[in-house]
């Protein structure tokens, strides 16, 4: 049955592989299945993805349209939406603290600071509020928001193809981190870990850091490359830019452990992806990471690289313990995937008069 409303989603950026983009696509599919007409708009759209989203300035807004705005940074999208009296719904993905980017990208740091300031006008002008994690929900409440609903991310693992890659013939361990090359993700600490692993264990290894780097933040990438050179890790640590889905799947399947040193996460989808591919997860406790892991994986609260090395060596020598850890992670993943992710949002929209 066709609905009387159209649902228009808006974001600052749109790039396949990005968590916000994937959530917009998933919600769009859900809305269409529920009988709504939909469109997706953004400010910065990756060239190959322009068949899925349009520039926000081209939005042909109608009186009954419902706006859904995914907020993570300041952009010209928010002032555009505020011009219209339409029903406005926030989905909050968190805003990275600006200080991480100040040494590398002042413009981006400014946009993050403005993104924080935007919360006050969103609180005043928007009608409904959702957050993709309890961590994000609490942050909105601490900023004075009321009636904030939880909208867990809808994760689509049907896109992955497991190729049955065997790890038994390798004579080295393979570590993995997936995430944007960005200061808050702390790939620099992952390189420091690699240095300590090499010095302490003398065991052969590879560490792949997979992620896209914003062209305006190449100075951070250059810093990482300099560390790799200085620590004599150029054959051991590899920075791999944006990859397609098949290549990313192979990285997960070929790896032995997933390690995260990230210091700010509103959710962290790659943690769930690592669970799906049965990688034991070691993650620094920051932001929503503990919530995402849900009691599984191994959290650490100090970046003591020697202790981390020792813990991984110990786990790697105990297959029973490793299997138990993977089973805990699988249980957590299945529990999360069983949630009716978009129900609260659909129910709200269905009841709009």
Q: Which two tokens stand for residue 94?
A: 């968190």
More reliable by pLDDT, 340 or 41: 41
Say whether domain 173-337 belongs to CATH 1.50.10.20: no
Residue ranges of the domains in the chain?
A: 6-151, 173-337
Number of alpha helices (DSSP H) and beta strands (DSSP E) in the chain: 12, 13
pLDDT digits (tens, 9 = 90+) for 112-145: 999 999 999 999 999 999 999 999 999 999 999 9
In this prediction the pTM is 0.94
DSSP strand pairing (66-71 vs 205-210):
unpaired
Confidence of residue 33 (pLDDT cuts 50, 70, 90): very high
Provide the pLDDT for residue 242: 74
pLDDT of residue 334 exceeding 70, the answer is yes
Provide the pLDDT for residue 165: 66
CATH number of 6-151: 3.40.50.2000
pLDDT digits (tens, 9 = 90+) for 287-327: 999 999 999 999 999 999 999 999 999 999 999 999 999 99
Provide the pLDDT for residue 160: 78
Domains 6-151 and 173-337 share a fold: yes
Mean pLDDT of 39-46: 95
pLDDT digits (tens, 9 = 90+) for 165-220: 666 667 899 999 999 999 999 999 999 999 999 999 999 999 999 999 999 999 99
pLDDT digits (tens, 9 = 90+) for 86-109: 999 999 999 999 999 999 999 999
- Residue 321's CB is within 10 A of a number of other CB atoms, namely 13
Dihedral sign for Cα atoms in the order 174, 178, 181, 184: negative
| Residue 272 vs residues 8, 69, 155, 267, 278: alpha-carbon distances, Å | 28, 24, 9, 10, 10
């Amino acid at each position: 049955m066709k609905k009387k409303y159209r649902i228009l989603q808006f974001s600052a950026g749109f790039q396949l592989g990005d968590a916000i983009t994937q959530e917009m696509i998933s919600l769009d599919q859900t809305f269409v299945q529920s009988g709504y007409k939909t469109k997706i708009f953004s400010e910065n759209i990756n060239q190959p993805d322009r068949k899925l989203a349009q520039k926000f300035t081209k939005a042909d807004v109608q009186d009954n349209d419902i706006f859904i705005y995914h907020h993570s940074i300041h952009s010209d999208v928010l002032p555009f939406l505020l011009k219209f009296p339409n029903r406005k719904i926030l989905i909050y993905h968190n805003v990275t603290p600006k200080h991480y980017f100040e040494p590398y990208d002042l413009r981006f740091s400014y946009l993050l600071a403005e993104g924080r300031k935007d919360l006050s006008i969103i609180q005043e002008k928007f009608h409904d509020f959702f957050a993709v994690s309890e961590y994000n929900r609490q942050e909105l409440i601490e900023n004075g928001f009321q009636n904030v609903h939880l909208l867990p991310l809808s994760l689509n693992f049907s896109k992955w193809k497991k190729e049955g890659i065997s790890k038994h013939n390798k004579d080295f361990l393979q570590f993995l981190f997936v995430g944007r090359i960005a200061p808050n993700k702390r790939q620099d600490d992952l390189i420091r870990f690699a240095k300590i692993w090499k010095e302490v264990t003398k065991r052969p290894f590879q560490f792949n850091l997979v992620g896209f780097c914003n062209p305006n933040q190449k100075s951070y990438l250059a810093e990482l490359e300099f560390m790799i050179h200085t620590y004599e890790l150029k054959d051991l640590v590899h920075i791999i830019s944006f990859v397609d889905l098949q290549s990313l799947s192979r990285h997960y399947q070929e790896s032995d452990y997933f390690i995260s040193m990230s210091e700010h996460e509103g959710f962290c989808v790659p943690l769930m992806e690592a669970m799906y591919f049965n990688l034991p997860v070691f993650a620094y406790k920051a932001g929503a990471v503990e919530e995402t892991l849900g009691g599984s994986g191994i959290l650490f609260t100090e970046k003591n690289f020697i202790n981390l090395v020792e813990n991984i060596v110990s786990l790697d020598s105990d297959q029973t313990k490793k299997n138990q850890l993977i089973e805990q992670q699988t249980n957590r993943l299945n529990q999360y995937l069983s949630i009716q992710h978009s129900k609260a949002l659909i129910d709200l929209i269905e009841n709009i008069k």
